[in-house]
């Protein structure tokens, strides 16, 4: 993939905690993490220091890439805000930081107890911000795996729960996917895309916690023109020139008319409604005959590991998988390809009836970032998603406010109320369901 300008990335791995030793070595050293990254030939591995062994591991943070990095494989130490006072509201992946101690703090316990101040702090120093293992706590109150669905999420976990608030404050660059159940991850992201927000997805494994067999179990491939550098990786991640995958399927050169994903704000401007042409190069690889293990994976619920895996997309016992065209979260058309490892040119012709976002997926194995199709300068706003977002804010406040410190409650309540008022106005402005 690197030969074609697409570089593998797992922005969320750890050197301490979970399946690593916590004592007496306080986790593993950079040399050991480097072997993991090289072993999977990850072009970028983000080793995120978090609660376990925080004070030992933070010595390896320099505000730059690690000296072990090479021209083809990059390792950098940054932060996952996990095991901190704000963890109940959602774990944060903070990349490209210059400083790893929150302002005027010397201990983890002194950090804020909700996520928006931390996101603002990270962005103030040029950080790239996102939520980790996003689906954690986003399972719907009534069981469903449909996408999109309009059931209020539980908001009782440590995934992208407070995201529904902080995205309205333009504080989030990316939304992690690949290491929690796909319906839970994608539903929240779909709804915010349906409200005109442009947060991109990025793949992660959370090695060695959610997945401990290897780094890169879920990952992104990031498109870069020119030299591979950490800065070029971060720019393409924020621009959305990437797709999430389990590594067994790939979707590149995704275009709507003449606009390519991740180029020029991924925005296709139309003067009026009409048909657009969508194209991509797609490849997937399954064994000709489904193995016993493959059949076992395919039969599991989407809420059971491995959450993203190409066997789940296999059509019956054939070697075919469907490539779905997604418009505003709905699958509007599918085309089957032979999953024999060869590149296929996939094309769709679709009528756009109002401003919308479009993406491609092989579900649940790979998913592109969106292209935004804007008709006559009208914003992307779904009335039903705006209604859902208001309920989600209320549920988040119900679940999270008891764990926010008293002296922070007033500021947090104002931020929650502001987000809800934005969604209320969107509901009034919406031109379609």
Query: Tokens at residue 291, please?
Result: 């193995």
pLDDT tens for each residue of 292-315: 999 999 999 999 999 999 999 999
For residue 113, the model assigns a pLDDT of 98
Residues of the chain with CATH 2.60.40: 268-375
pLDDT at 433 over 90: no
Report yes or no: 308 and 341 within 8 Å, Cβ to Cβ: no
- What pTM was estimated for this model as a whole? 0.98
DSSP 285: B
What is the rounded average pLDDT of the residues 213-228? 97
Residue 232: band (very low, low, confident or very high) from pLDDT cuts 50, 70, 90: very high
pLDDT at 23 over 80: no
Residues of the chain with CATH 3.20.20.140: 2-245
Name, in order, each residue with C-beta under 8 angstroms of 110's C-beta and a sequence gap of 6 or more: 102, 104
As a dihedral over the C-alpha atoms of residue 295, residue 296, residue 300, residue 304, rounded to 10 degrees, the angle is: -130
What is the rounded average pLDDT of the residues 173-196? 98
For residue 254, the model assigns a pLDDT of 98
For residue 22, the model assigns a pLDDT of 72
Query: Tokens at residue 168, please?
Result: 């309205």
Query: Tokens at residue 99, please?
Result: 């400083």
In percent, the amount of the chain with pLDDT more than 70 equals: 100
Q: Can you point out the beta strands (E) in 6-149?
A: 6-13, 44-49, 74-81, 92-95, 128-131
Q: Which fold has domain 2-245?
A: TIM Barrel (3.20.20)
For residue 25, the model assigns a pLDDT of 82
- The CATH class given to the 268-375 domain equals mainly beta
What is the rounded average pLDDT of the residues 46-52? 96
The least confident of 16-20, 203-207, 386-390 is 16-20
The Cα–Cα gap between 342 and 90 comes to: 39
Name, in order, each residue with C-beta under 8 angstroms of 354's C-beta and a sequence gap of 6 or more: 273, 375, 378, 431, 432
Query: Tokens at residue 341, please?
Result: 């490892």
pLDDT tens for each residue of 363-405: 999 999 999 999 999 999 999 999 999 999 999 999 999 999 9
């Amino acid at each position: 993939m690197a030969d074609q300008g697409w570089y593998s990335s797992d922005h969320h791995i750890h050197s301490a905690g979970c399946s690593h030793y916590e004592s007496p070595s306080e986790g593993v050293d950079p040399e050991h993490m480097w072997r993991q990254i090289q072993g999977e030939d990850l072009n970028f591995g983000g080793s995120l220091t978090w609660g376990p062994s925080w004070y030992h591991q933070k010595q390896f943070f320099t505000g730059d890439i690690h000296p072990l990095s090479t021209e083809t494989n990059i390792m950098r130490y940054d932060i996952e805000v996990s095991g901190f006072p704000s963890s109940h509201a959602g774990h944060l992946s903070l990349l490209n930081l210059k400083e790893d101690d929150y302002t005027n703090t010397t201990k983890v316990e002194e950090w804020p107890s909700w996520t928006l101040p931390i996101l603002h702090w990270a962005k103030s120093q040029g950080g790239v911000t996102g939520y980790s293992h996003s689906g954690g706590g986003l399972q719907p109150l009534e069981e469903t795996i449909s996408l999109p669905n309009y059931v209020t999420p539980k908001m009782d976990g440590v995934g992208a729960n407070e995201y529904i608030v902080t995205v309205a404050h333009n504080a989030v660059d990316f939304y992690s996917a690949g290491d929690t159940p796909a319906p839970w991850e994608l539903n929240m992201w779909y709804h915010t895309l349906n409200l005109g927000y442009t947060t991109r997805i990025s793949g992660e494994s959370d090695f060695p916690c959610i997945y401990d067999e290897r780094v890169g179990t879920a990952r992104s491939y990031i498109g870069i023109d020119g030299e591979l550098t950490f800065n070029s990786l971060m720019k393409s991640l924020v621009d959305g020139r990437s797709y999430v995958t389990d590594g067994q399927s790939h979707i590149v050169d995704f275009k709507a008319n003449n606009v390519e994903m991740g180029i020029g704000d991924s925005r296709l401007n139309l003067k009026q409604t009409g048909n657009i042409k969508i194209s991509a190069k797609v490849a997937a690889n399954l064994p000709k005959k489904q193995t016993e293990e493959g059949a076992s994976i395919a039969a599991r619920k989407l809420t059971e590991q491995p959450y993203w895996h190409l066997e789940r997309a296999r059509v019956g016992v054939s070697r075919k998988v469907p490539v779905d065209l997604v418009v505003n979260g709905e699958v509007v058309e599918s085309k089957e390809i032979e999953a024999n490892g060869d590149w296929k040119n996939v094309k769709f012709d679709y009528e756009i009836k109002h401003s919308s976002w479009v993406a491609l997926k092989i579900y649940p194995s790979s998913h592109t970032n969106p292209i935004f199709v804007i008709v006559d300068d009208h914003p992307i706003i779904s009335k039903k998603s705006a209604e859902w977002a208001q309920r989600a804010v209320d549920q988040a406040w119900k679940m999270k406010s008891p764990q926010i410190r008293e002296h922070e409650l007033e500021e947090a309540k104002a931020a929650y109320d502001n987000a809800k008022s934005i969604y209320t106005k969107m509901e009034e402005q919406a031109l379609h369901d």
